[in-house]
Structure 1
Amino acid sequence: MDTIIGNMFAIGGNVKVPSYGNTKYEPLDIIYETHREAQLIAQSIGQAFQVAYMEFLKANGIEDPGLLKEMDYQDVLNQQEIYGEELNLFANKDHHKEVIVPKAKNELLGVVIVESGWGSMVPTVVLANMSPIGPAARCGQLNIGDQIISINGISLVGLPLSACQTYIKAAKNQTVVKLTVVPCPPVVEVIIKRPDVKYQLGFSVQNGVICSLLRGGIAERGGVRVGHRIIEINNQSVVAVPHEKIVSLLANSVGEIHMKTMPTSIFRLLTGQDTPHYL
């Protein structure tokens, strides 16, 4: 993760270090204390994004040298602010909600959780469904779309979905479960700024589902998440729209492109396409 705060510029990453029989990664954080250093590093990152963008174009059959020379993706990227303010949402405890869920011993919590989607600034799990007779629904304080930050004091932020499911299952023997959540609607608002159709959006879609995303591009900054189902494009519902029509709408959209999306798992549960398996 790369962050500029005032004149402090932080770079976070992973360092591969040897381990016995397994690959191990250690966190790496570098702090630059001068504005000049921050500018140089930010410029280098921007250039790396542009190289990745050109490779993305080539991989999708766009190899016109004149077109590539004409584009300056970094300028477009600079105009695309990060939409959603996820870091502020999760870092500010004023947005957090403590929920106490009373339950019987050996009773399931009665929830379905899904991943927030690759591309999220702060990956966590989302409450996708609740059993109408389960403890989670009975407590009356949880809603579909809420992002679960912790359970019984154990942080779930950044953990794989399977690990989060294990922690929730482990609460079966308890009579009280404490959850920390960030209340969020199940539908995610996306705004992408695209000045011209010659600039690729930087994500691919199949039957309304976002299946790949250019890391660091305008789509990711605008709130696009892999694994989400597109619900609306510029106030037009695309729930029952054919794939070709969705592609055409996206390909020809310029200016501010407004979309509404939600995790595909939530969409399928809400529309009755999948049967919930409660934890």
Structure 2
Amino acid sequence: MDRVKVKPWGWQAPDGETQPMTEVDLFVSTKRVKVLTADSQEALMDHALQTISYIADIGSVLVLMARRRLARRPAPQPHSRRLYKMICHVFHSEDAQLIAQAIGQAFAVAYSQFLRESGINPSQVGSQQSQGATGPGHLHNGDLDHFSNSENCREVCIEKRRGEGLGVALVESGWGSLLPTAVIANLLHGGPAERSGALSIGDRITAINGTSLVGLPLAACQAAVREVKSQTLVTLSIVHCPPVTTAIIRRPHIREQLGFCVEDGIICSLLRGGIAERGGVRVGHRIIEINGQSVVATPHARIIELLTEAHIEVHIKTMPAATYRLLTGQEQPVYL
């Protein structure tokens, strides 16, 4: 991973003193995560990848927790079995989401390398898990499989007049999506995008003229589309996706919380790493159907009741709330 500038928020030094905020360089590999001061290149943080216990992005804030083994005591006291201490690092960066994704990708690559070195084919491990895993650790969200299938990916060349917009309305794929992208929520009738005949509502734009949009905020994606207004030929890299997303939440037992909150049919919060996120639920999506029953015109209390009553598996169909409002005429689309 290339060098990324971040700012640590109240960096806690090993001696317990709090140092002032400073600009640093972050390095990520399949072996280590390291932070150096931008000016002197002094090491402020250096953790082996396998000691990273938690990584999360919250807007422009990046949180990273690592385990550090305590020094062995010559005569351990009774009830003193703690072998590690946890160290929490908090950074501020506009690229917090991309950094978190990069560390996650480093884990995936390192795990594949470990399997190969152990004489195990990583693809066989994945197929065995997908066939037999039904417990809480099973990941239903199929974004990665869908995006990696070449049949779903294509490049679309759109011809248009100079100064003419593409004629697309974009929304976010929703927090919780493994691969956050801009989603086509509507097409301008007679516009260049619709005339191409190659785009549909629900398709995700991953790049424009070779510039990746994956992980960028919606405003940045919209700005990238506006910038090509002066061009007469625009190339979009897209992944064909249906407008409705299906999530499957597997509950190990009836007392297990689903791990998300709903308000008037819209998912407004999500427990990071919970069974709902692993099942494909996303913040900002509107619930369309629960276990085969439409809830489009269902009161809030009844939606909660249906979710509470569901045992073992909860099948939920959702779409971005903004897309739903556009399709039902509750809002007027803003075309780019």
What is the TM-score when the length of structure 2 is the normalising length? 0.63
* Ranges in structure 2 where 5+ consecutive residues have no aligned partner: 10-19, 33-47, 55-64, 66-132
Sort the Cα spacing of 1:25 and 1:108 in 2 relative to 1 into closer, same or farther, 3 A.
farther
RMSD: 2.9
Aligned to 1:123: 180
1:179 is aligned to 236
Aligned residue for 2:288?
Answer: 231
Give the conservation status (yes or no) of the 8 Å contact 1:77–1:217: no
| Partner Cα distance (2:182, 2:23) in 1 | 25
Residue 28 of structure 1 aligns with which residue? 28
* TM-score relative to the length of structure 1: 0.75
5 Å-filtered alignment, 1:30-49, equals 30-31=30-31
Rounded Cα–Cα distance in structure 2 between residues aligned with 1:23 and 1:268: 42
Decide whether aligned partners of structure 1 residues 112 and 21 sit closer, same or farther in structure 2, where only a CA change above 3 A counts: farther
After superposition, the Cα gap between the structure-2 partners of 1:15 and 1:107, relative to the gap in structure 1 and judged at 3 Å, is closer
Equivalence for 1:159:
216
For 2:146, the equivalent position in structure 1 comes to 89
Q: Distance in 2 between matches of 1:197 and 1:181?
A: 40
SS of match in other structure, 2:174: coil
Alignment partner of 1:277 is 2:334: yes
Other-structure match for 1:54 = none
Q: Which residue of 1 aligns with 2:254?
A: 197
Partner of 1:58: none
From 227, 232, 248, the equivalent of 1:170 is: 227
- How far, CA to CA, are the matches of 1:198 and 1:23 in structure 2? 46
* Structure 1 position 257 matched with structure 2 position 314: yes
Structure in which a larger fraction of residues adopt helix: 1
Deviates more, 1:213-222 or 1:17-26: 17-26
Cα contact 2:5–2:25 (8 A) shared by 1:
yes
The runs of 4+ residues in structure 1 deviating greater than 4 Å are: 14-25
Higher relative contact order (CA 8 A, sep 6+): 1
Contact 1:80–1:192 at 8 Å: present in 2 too? no
Aligned to 2:226, the other structure's residue is in SS state helix
Question: Percent of aligned pairs with the same residue?
Answer: 51
In our comparison, the structure showing a higher alpha carbon Rg is 2
- Tell me if the contact between 1:80 and 1:222 (Cα under 8 Å) persists in the aligned partners: no
Which SS does the other structure have where 1:83 is aligned?
Answer: coil
Deviation of 1:81 (Å):
1.5
Paired residues of 1:17 and 1:26 also in contact (CA < 8 A): no
Q: How many residues are treated as equivalent by the alignment?
A: 231
Counterpart contact for 1:77–1:218, Cα < 8 Å: no
**Do the aligned partners of 1:15 and 1:28 also contact (CA within 8 Å) in 2?**
no
Partner of 1:149: 206
Pair 1:199–1:162, CA change in 2 (3 A): same
Distance 1:85 1:113 in 2: 22
Query: 2:158 aligns to what?
Result: 101
Take 1:192 and 1:154, find their aligned partners in 2: how far apart are those partners?
34
Q: Which runs of 5+ in 1 are unaligned?
A: 1-13, 49-75
Q: Which range moves more in the overlay, 238-247 or 194-203? A: 194-203
Query: What is the SS of the residue equivalent to 1:79?
Result: coil
Q: Whole-Å Cα distance in 1 between the matches of residues 323 and 25 of structure 2? A: 32
